[in-house]
């Protein structure tokens, strides 16, 4: 999202809040609102009751991006600092209910909002976007190339200082795209440059921003086939070659967390990353194509979006941990969100510290 689009959306959300009879005071200029700066505060008041918030602007909230957005917003903030308020273009009624259940306060440009505390309570849901607002909502997005390069760097931070050719091969992107992508990552703080050396600015914020971008701009493109499995419950016994097919999503989380939650994690959908399922597996496990209305005993095949060099040396049954984490967040399922948090705390926190 450009700075102009960001400021326009920010102003529309504030206008919608004022339409509820609320007084809204901006403690700092809006600028770039995604960096969790303590100075980007809003004061919202009515009838002598006031709340202060740290504003966070997020575009295009969907069921697939809800988990990643909430994970970002609910990171620890400054001691005694304001609570975090999600500002976005539109929150549908189901998403409004989910945000309220998670105690994540929000306001959108259509006039939907959830504010609570300090004697103030506002909950508005069901308002629709005007046509001009819908046009603004559809105008932004995440580029697949940028997401793929950032994924390669997140999986292997040592690549940050590698030649462009090596990064492009790991990310499976065109070499000619690398200068622009690297410049963009530097501008947005994902890459640091000291002298002539590049390094990844690894943090949970970066991990969650990638997970959000993946859910919004790339994940939908990876789904290639949906199947029904007669022997769905026997999935642990399936014989897979990690060089061609690996577990992702809930199944991967079940394998990774089996020592911590041996009985508490049961996949509802089996996710596999690979170009195709082996014919022998299809026959042995009674796997057949699923119709559009099927929703039980599902197996989803997703196409890998990274280069062979990124995982060539690994002999593991699952896709890289950041992708397992992102897939879990993209479900929006509370059960999966808990698993994602557990994977972060047990496997990823050292690589992507909170900051």
Q: What is the mean pLDDT of residues 327-353?
A: 91
pLDDT band, residue 33 (cuts 50/70/90) = very low
Domain spans, the chain: 3-138, 144-201, 220-348
Predicted confidence (pLDDT) at residue 321 exceeds the cutoff of 80 = yes
Residues 344 and 205: beta-carbon distance below 8 Å: no
Q: What is the pLDDT of residues 152-162, one digit of tens each?
A: 999 999 999 99
- Which residue's structure tokens are 């079940």? 254
Query: Considering the entire predicted model, what is its pTM?
Result: 0.70
Best mean pLDDT range from 133-142, 313-322, 324-333: 324-333
**What is the structure's pLDDT at 36?**
39
Which of the two residues, 346 and 83, has the higher pLDDT score?
346
**What is the structure's pLDDT at 234?**
93
pLDDT band, residue 16 (cuts 50/70/90) = confident
Closest listed residue to residue 166, CA positions, set 304, 306, 309: 309
In degrees and rounded to multiples of 5, residue 42 shows phi and psi of -120, 140
Q: How many C-beta neighbours within 10 Å does residue 349 have?
A: 13
**What is the structure's pLDDT at 80?**
53
Task: Please provide the CATH number assigned to the domain covering 144-201.
Answer: 1.10.10.10
**What is the structure's pLDDT at 292?**
75
Q: Where are the alpha helices (DSSP H) in 19-138?
A: 63-73, 93-101, 131-138
Residues 211 and 68: beta-carbon distance below 8 Å: yes
Helix (H/G/I), strand (E/B), else coil: 193: strand
Q: What is the pLDDT of residues 245-271, one digit of tens each?
A: 999 999 999 999 986 664 567 899 999
């Amino acid at each position: 999202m450009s700075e102009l689009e960001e400021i326009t959306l920010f102003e529309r959300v504030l206008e919608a809040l004022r339409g509820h009879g609320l007084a809204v005071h901006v403690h700092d200029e809006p600028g770039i609102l995604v960096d969790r700066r303590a100075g980007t505060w809003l004061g919202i008041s009515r009838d002598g009751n006031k709340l202060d918030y740290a504003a966070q602007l997020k575009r295009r909230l969907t069921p697939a991006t809800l988990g990643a957005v909430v994970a970002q917003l609910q990171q620890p903030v400054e001691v005694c600092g304001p609570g975090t308020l999600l500002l976005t273009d539109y929150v549908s009624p189901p998403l409004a209910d989910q945000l309220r259940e998670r105690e994540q306060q929000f306001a959108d440009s259509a006039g939907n909002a959830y504010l609570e505390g300090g004697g103030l309570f506002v909950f508005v849901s069901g308002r629709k976007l005007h046509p001009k607002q819908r046009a603004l909502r559809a105008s932004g997005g995440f580029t697949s190339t940028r997401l793929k390069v950032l994924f390669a760097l997140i999986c292997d931070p040592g690549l940050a200082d590698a030649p462009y050719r090596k990064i492009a091969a790991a990310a499976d992107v065109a070499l000619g795209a690398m200068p622009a992508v690297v410049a963009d990552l530097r501008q947005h703080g994902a890459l640091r440059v000291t002298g002539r050396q590049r390094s990844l600015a690894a943090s949970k914020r970066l991990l969650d921003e990638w997970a959000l971008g993946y859910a919004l701009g790339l994940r939908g493109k990876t789904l290639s086939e949906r199947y029904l499995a007669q022997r769905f419950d026997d999935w642990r016994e399936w014989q897979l070659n990690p060089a061609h097919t690996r577990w992702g999503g809930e199944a991967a989380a079940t394998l990774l967390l089996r020592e911590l939650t041996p009985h508490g994690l049961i996949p509802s959908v089996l996710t596999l990353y690979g170009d195709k399922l082996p014919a022998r597996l299809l026959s042995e496990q009674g796997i057949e194509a699923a119709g559009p209305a099927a929703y039980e005993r599902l197996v989803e095949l997703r196409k890998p979006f990274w280069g062979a060099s990124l995982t060539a040396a690994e002999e593991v049954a699952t896709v890289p941990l950041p992708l397992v984490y992102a897939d879990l967040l993209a479900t929006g399922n509370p059960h999966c969100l808990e698993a994602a948090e557990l994977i972060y705390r047990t496997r990823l926190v050292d690589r992507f510290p909170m900051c």
